[in-house]
Amino acid sequence: MITFTAKEKSIADRIKGLKQASGSHSPNKGTMLREIPELHIKVDACFLSNPYANELFLKRLKKDIRSPKIFKDIIESYPSQNRAIAKPLAKHLGVPPENLFIGNGAIEVIQAVMHRLVKGKLLVTLPTFSSYYEFAAPGTEVIYNYLKKENNFLWDVENFIKTAREKGANSVIIINPNNPDGGYIPKAGIKRICDELSDLDNIIIDESFVHFPTESAAGEIPSAAKLVATHQNVIVIKSMSKDFGIAGVRAGYGVMNKAKAAELLRNGFLWNSSGLAEYFFRLYTEKDFSRSYEKIRRNYIKVTQGFIKTLGNITGLKTYPSQANFALIELLDGTRAEDAVLKLLISKGIHVRDCGDKRGLSGEFIRVASRTKKENKLIVSAFKDLLSHHA
Amino acid sequence: MITFTAKEKSIADRIKGLKQASGSHSPNKGTMLREIPELHIKVDACFLSNPYANELFLKRLKKDIRSPKIFKDIIESYPSQNRAIAKPLAKHLGVPPENLFIGNGAIEVIQAVMHRLVKGKLLVTLPTFSSYYEFAAPGTEVIYNYLKKENNFLWDVENFIKTAREKGANSVIIINPNNPDGGYIPKAGIKRICDELSDLDNIIIDESFVHFPTESAAGEIPSAAKLVATHQNVIVIKSMSKDFGIAGVRAGYGVMNKAKAAELLRNGFLWNSSGLAEYFFRLYTEKDFSRSYEKIRRNYIKVTQGFIKTLGNITGLKTYPSQANFALIELLDGTRAEDAVLKLLISKGIHVRDCGDKRGLSGEFIRVASRTKKENKLIVSAFKDLLSHHA
């Protein structure tokens, strides 16, 4: 059992209070550090992002905003309208701009789709990102599919299709790779689902972690976006926060058939991207920048998979297979996940995500993000230390 | 009549094309300059903002982001949730935080209120900011009240109340000061409307320009926000873009009764403020910053009213009374507003707003923003020059 000193216990209680106040999501880091000045976060492995790409982006941004013109454009000017920001991104993704809806973060796309396009029965697969059931509009009936622990939370495509049919789903949601476990459906599996469920209202595919599967370290990012051309009910949702560590910028998008995109834009979503988000999208689609990012992305996949393998060798925990930039681990030695997370944070400054509030997980689960090589080493040794002392 | 050279005409045609493509709003400046490189905007008097406050904000922001910690917080971290950002702002405004809804710009607040809280008949007063009828949800019936040119577009409070009753409005919208004319209802008039229409579903008061009336140069900003405590149906909407020239940051808020704010937040609007917007709200409510801003605000009101008076003395145009940071002018010498706006932009780099697309305005109307003293002089002499040559 993990023990806390009196001082650690007092800090732990305050962290729990903040967590409670922020619902199903982790309290933001700024709020946490402001409210609990004793905390020092050395490695933020709660936050899911590619730190190398973040460095690339920040370096360029810092350089660019030295130009008064660019700085002015970002801060002062009204951002371009949705369709104008969509233009270069559409070209980059290889889809028509009329299929794009640019969101103030993927969460705005999720909200818009859930509130305006989803009706009837919505099939959500647990465990999942909680907004997919929390944002269901009044009148939507959320029904569930379950990833099985004994199957390592891997997707069973045929079983998923069968469940959707048996339960009479009107819309389904797939996060690929899934959050919080990193389970992944290869391109062929996604194609099979879309072919089989082509009569549904919506097949929502959240690809926020699609830059990280090993399948994509060798070639193209395995996005389903182009399926929208042939499968009218597919909606792809994408956050850019994970790829670049830019959660504060709020940049995301959705790819969907033209009629749905037009319906969302018909009487709303004017100026919903900030100047910084517009700057980001322009940069992201620039040839040179995109080439540099591609190298970094592939290297990060290698770092991540090495890290997940090393985590898997630690005694006292099980690491589930992941194709995302994080791993779901289960403590098997009787340690409570909540205690482990608090202890790591307070005594070592290592911030990981307790999954105690995640529906569909039964056991002591923690989600650990992959950071830089150096940070990942710190995470590994912290877990080793914790489990060997407290087992 | 205004004449154009062949080169001017070709530029004018491209500007018209861009304007058409951006609907009821001006194309953003970046898009315009990117698409028409021959353009040089010397004075942007289409954009409604206090340039002095903009300078104050930018200076501080530039200094702050030299700190890697602040820069990281703005770009990388997930922004705080709606309620956390509301806390310091609520204190600053003197209202309980539960009455606040923080928006990704006022436009998001407008959209949320129009789509989720407004039902039945909605009374909109023309001329107005077009989103107030364009964003009406399907099923809402928009009905109109008209400000009269022969009454200088001034509000007639008693007539407004009478119109709301006679037409059976369920909700009403008041922009105060109004856009595009700057007509203003003093605090007592707003109070009277709220007392008389206390049984309506919503009294929406858009106060995006409330930092600029002369009434507020002497004392407190004449906001109606505190009325929410006594009048359960009042919803105050506020953009911060006009006060600080930060349209790219997307910062706005709504003040409304707790049940309505909670309804909006119930299943949506997670992380809808960017890191930069959160930074802005914290700064805005800081004592020292707020004191510096207050001085600048009062001085800008004087500059603005001086500018409006000078515009009023130009032969060939009429300047309507305004309590905002812009003036509506009407060309009386036969010059077409569209031609005047294009000529000023192309030949002098002075960008003002043609109001030809504004419903409820019959005549040749242009909206001119007040800028710095120096820029305002350039605007005045450009108009004098234009009208004396082409009358």
How many residue contacts between A and B have a Cβ separation below 8 Å? 169
Alpha carbon of B384: minimum distance to chain A alpha carbons (Å): 28
Could you give phi then psi for residue A157, rounded to 5 degrees? Answer: -60, -45
The dihedral through the CA atoms of B70, B71, B76, B81 has a sign that is positive
For residue A6, the SS3 value is: helix
Nearest to B104 among A58, A65, A272 (CB): A272
Contact partners, residue A138, CB within 8 Å, separation at least 6:
none
Are the Cβ atoms of A76 and B54 closer than 8 angstroms?
yes
Distance between A316 CA and the closest CA of chain B, angstroms? 32
Q: Which helix (H) or strand (E) holds A178?
A: none
Segment holding A319, helix H or strand E? strand A317-319
Q: Is B61 in Cβ contact with A75 (below 8 Å)?
A: yes
Choosing among A107, A246, A267, A281, which should be mutated to test the B contact, i.e. which has the most B CBs within 10 A? A267
CA distance A379 to A329: 13
Instruction: Mention every residue, 6+ apart, whose C-beta is less than 8 A from residue B291.
Output: none
Best probe of the A interface among B31, B63, B116, by most A CBs < 10 A, is B31
| Token representation of residue A236 | 């792809």
Average pLDDT over residues B269-284: 96
Q: Do B107 and A250 touch (CB under 8 A)?
A: no
- Residue B62 and residue B238: Cα distance in Å, rounded? 25
Closest by CA to A373, choosing from A302, A291, A292, A294, is: A302
Q: Which residues of B touch A111 (CB under 8 A)?
A: 268-270
Chain B interface test: which of A116, A129, A133, A250 (most B C-beta within 10 Å): A250
**Rounded to whole angstroms, how far apart are CA atoms A18 and A33?**
11
What residues in A contact B277, CB-CB < 8 Å?
274
Mutation target among B246, B267, B273 for the A interface, most CBs of A within 10 A:
B267
The more confident residue out of B80 and B204 is: B204
CB A323 within 8 A of CB A214: yes
Are residues A79 and B276, on separate chains, in Cβ contact within 8 Å?
Answer: no
Q: Give the per-residue pLDDT at A389.
A: 65
Q: Nearest C-alpha of chain A: how many angstroms from B201?
A: 21
Say how many CA atoms lie within 13 Å of B258 toward its Cβ: 6
Return d(Cα A312, Cα A177) in angstroms, integer.
19
Q: Name every chain A residue with its beta carbon within 8 A of the beta carbon of B23.
A: 81
Q: pLDDT tens across B88-98, in order?
A: 999 999 999 99
Instruction: State the Cα–Cα distance between residues A304 and B16, nearest whole angstrom.
Output: 51
Nearest Cα residue to B297 out of B216, B199, B186, B207 = B216
ipTM for this prediction = 0.93
The CA distance from B113 to B237, in Å, is 9
Chain B residues inside the 8 Å CB shell of A78? 25-26, 28-29, 47, 241, 247-248
* Residue to substitute from B28, B54, B132, B244, interface A, most A β-carbons within 10 A: B28
- Can you give the pLDDT at residue A391? 46
Judged by CB atoms closer than 8 Å, whether chains meet at A77 and B107 is answered as no
Q: Do A248 and B78 touch (CB under 8 A)?
A: yes
**Contacts of residue B76 in chain A, CB cutoff 8 Å?**
47, 49, 54, 245-248
pLDDT along chain A (391 residues), means of 10: 93 92 80 90 95 97 94 91 94 97 97 96 97 93 97 97 98 98 97 98 98 91 97 98 96 98 92 96 97 97 98 96 98 95 97 95 97 98 87 46
Phi, psi angle pair for B39, to nearest 5°: -75, 140
Model confidence pLDDT, tens digit, residues B142-177: 999 999 999 999 999 999 999 999 999 999 999 999
**Contact across the interface for B247 and A137, Cβ inside 8 Å:** no
CA B260 to chain CA centroid, Å, is 23
Degrees, nearest 5: CA angle B337-B339-B345: 100
- Residue B309, token pair as written in the block: 């008076």
pLDDT at B391: 46
Per-residue buried b or exposed e for A12-22, using 16+ beta carbons within 10 Å of the residue's own CB: beebeebbeeb
* Partner-chain residue, chosen from B47, B65, B107, that has the shortest CB–CB distance to A271: B107
Contact A280, A105 (CB under 8 A): no
Residue type, A108: E
Please count the other Cβ atoms lying within 10 Å of the Cβ belonging to residue A213.
23
- Summarised one tens digit per residue, pLDDT across range B315-360 is 999 999 999 999 999 999 999 999 999 999 999 999 999 999 999 9
The residue type at A126: L
Chain B positions in Cβ-Cβ contact with residue A131 (cut-off 8 Å) = 270
Is the confidence at residue B122, as pLDDT, over 70? yes
d(CA A97, CA B305): 45
- Residue B390's pLDDT is 52
Is residue B174 within 8 A of residue B203, CB to CB? The reply is: yes
Tokens at A368, concatenated: 């650990």
CA dist A19 and B186 (Å) reads: 45
Task: Kindly report the three-state secondary structure assignment for every residue of chain B.
Answer: CCCCCHHHHHHHHHHHHHHHHCCCCCCCHHHHHHHCCCCCCCEECCCCCCHHHHHHHHHHHHHHCCCHHHHHHHHCCCCCCHHHHHHHHHHHHCCCHHHEEEECCHHHHHHHHHHHCCCCEEEEEECCCCHHHHCCCCCCEEEEEECCHHHCCCCCHHHHHHHHHHCCCCEEEEECCCCCCCCCCCHHHHHHHHHHCCCCCEEEEECCCCCCCCHHHHCCCCCCHHHHHCCCCEEEEEECHHHHCCCCCCCEEEECCHHHHHHHHHCCCCCCCCHHHHHHHHHHCCHHHHHHHHHHHHHHHHHHHHHHHHHHCCCCEEECCCCCCEEEEEECCCCCHHHHHHHHHHHHCEECEECCCCCCCCCCEEEEECCCHHHHHHHHHHHHHHHHHHC
State the greatest distance between any 2 C-alpha atoms of chain B, in Å, as a whole number: 61
- Asked if A81 lies within 8 A of B28 by C-beta distance, the reply is yes
- Reported as a pLDDT band with limits 50, 70 and 90, residue B12 is very high
B188-240 pLDDT, tens digit per residue, is 999 999 999 999 999 999 999 999 999 888 888 999 999 999 999 999 999 99
Residues in A closer than 8 angstroms to B71, CB to CB, are 58, 62
Chain B partners within 8 Å of A28 (Cβ): 77-81, 84
